[in-house]
Amino acid sequence: MKKVFRIVLVVFFIFLFVGTIVFLYQKSQDKPVVYNTKSPEITDIIKKTVATGSVVPRKEIAIKPQGVSGIIETLYVEAGDMLKKGDPIAKIKIIPDMINLNSAESRVKIAQINYEDKEINYQRDKALFEKKVISESDFQKTQLSFRNSKEELQSAKDNLQLIKEGVTKSSAKATNTIIRSTIEGMILDIPVKEGNSVIQSNTFNDGTTVAIVADMGEMIFQGKVDETEVGKIVQGMNLELTIGAIEDVKFDAHLEYISPKGVEENGAIQFEIKASVKLKKDFFIRSGYSANAEIVLDKREKVLAVNESLLEFKNDSTFVEVETSEQKFEKRFIKTGLSDGINIEVLEGITKDDKLKGEKRKKIEEIKEKKD
């Protein structure tokens, strides 16, 4: 009995050893590689470039004081209000210069003294003329001198009032202490508050901006294009705008301007472009919205194309592997055309019915397993 048991045990170990050898041998053998195949398809190839930028009003004006400096006494508007040309925006309270004020007051006093003296002479000569003691020509000289002194006194008083208040009684409607809009549009921003000091715009400085007014009915896209693409675009091209703040809506635009001079940004030369935007009634575009403009550089409609991942390159030639029989492939030269970065146009070398070698099926299955 023991002898039988030993024989059985020896046979068992022999089979176990042989089975292990067979298993390891099979494990060491490479499995046949199976490739997926893809066929060319008829599609449209569109080559685009994207310009980043923003949408801004074509007419945007900074309103500044003209002729007077002082303190903002009253603001009549706020951001978002619509204005017509000439509408008041703010009123300035003038803080007069003490030297100019003193000089103007002195001029008024001198003019007053001169006027009173001329008035006495005028009244005396008038009485003498009525009595025919003096001639008419002498009286006219006295009368002219009196009128000149009167006009000089009024001019001195007006000058003093201008220095103090920025306006005279005779020209109250034309006062430059009221800042008015120079165009019709919307108030975008009011960078000052009541009580802020403002400086007039003159030849020595730009002046303080009281308000920014823009015509929101006419918007343009301002963006930049890389130097590698600027040579492929021309004025008159159509653009398709995508505005970040307005989802799932595209706006048409028309390229109007390409800068003749590039600007270096982060080591690359960028060229500014401008395009008029065609607005839509249901959407209000605010100034400064960021936007991307797609520019169609070239287009092919209904052409034979393949995915660029199927291509092989050697020297200056392009090849694909075409299936001749099941999982048997031959390398074939093809001539390519326009590419959009994903698909590429095939001009000759293959047909729509050909099947091209793709990725290994095992690799694809492993990717799927990792995702699961």
- Give the mean pLDDT of 190-215: 87
pLDDT of residue 371: 47
Tell whether the model's pLDDT for residue 27 goes beyond 70: no
Per-residue pLDDT band for 126 (boundaries 50, 70, 90) equals confident
Tell whether the model's pLDDT for residue 4 goes beyond 70: no
Contact 47, 339 (CB under 8 A): yes
- Give the mean pLDDT of 340-363: 82
Q: How far is it, in rounded angstroms, from Cα 327 to Cα 31?
A: 14
- Give the mean pLDDT of 159-174: 62
Q: List the one residue out of 44, 20, 53 whose CA is nearest residue 222.
A: 53
Q: How far is it, in rounded angstroms, from Cα 350 to Cα 329?
A: 13
Q: List the one residue out of 366, 360, 367, 274 whose CA is nearest residue 321.
A: 360
pLDDT of residue 291: 93
Picking from 270-274, 327-331, 336-340, 363-367, which range would have the lowest pLDDT averaged per residue?
A: 363-367
Q: Which residue has the tokens 């989802």?
A: 247
Average model confidence (pLDDT) for the chain?
82
- Give the mean pLDDT of 269-276: 93
Domains, the chain, ordered by start: 35-45+301-371 (2.40.420.20), 49-57+217-300 (2.40.30.170), 62-94+173-214 (2.40.50.100), 98-172 (1.10.287.470)
- Give the mean pLDDT of 74-85: 91
pLDDT of residue 12: 67
Phi, psi of 69, deg, nearest 5: -120, 155
Q: How far is it, in rounded angstroms, from Cα 334 to Cα 340?
A: 18
pLDDT of residue 167: 60
Q: How far is it, in rounded angstroms, from Cα 100 to Cα 145?
A: 27
- Give the mean pLDDT of 209-227: 92
Q: How far is it, in rounded angstroms, from Cα 34 to Cα 310?
A: 16
The residue among 296 and 95 whose pLDDT is bigger is 296
Q: How close are the terminal C-alpha atoms of the chain, in Å?
A: 56
pLDDT of residue 175: 59
The CA radius of gyration of the chain, in Å to the nearest whole number, is 44
Using one digit for the tens of pLDDT, what is the confidence trace for 277-295?
Answer: 999 888 899 999 999 998 8
pLDDT of residue 325: 82
**Global confidence as pTM:** 0.62
Contact 279, 261 (CB under 8 A): no
Query: Which whole-number Å values give the CA distances from 125 to 143, 221, 312, in the listed order?
Result: 9, 77, 115
pLDDT of residue 362: 58
pLDDT of residue 187: 93
- Give the mean pLDDT of 350-364: 76
Q: Which residue has the tokens 């008029």?
A: 276
Tell whether the model's pLDDT for residue 272 goes beyond 90: yes
pLDDT of residue 368: 47
Reported for 120-125, long-range contacts at CB under 8 A and 24+ positions apart, including other chains, are: 121/145, 121/146, 122/146
Q: How far is it, in rounded angstroms, from Cα 223 to Cα 295?
A: 12
Tell whether the model's pLDDT for residue 240 goes beyond 70: yes
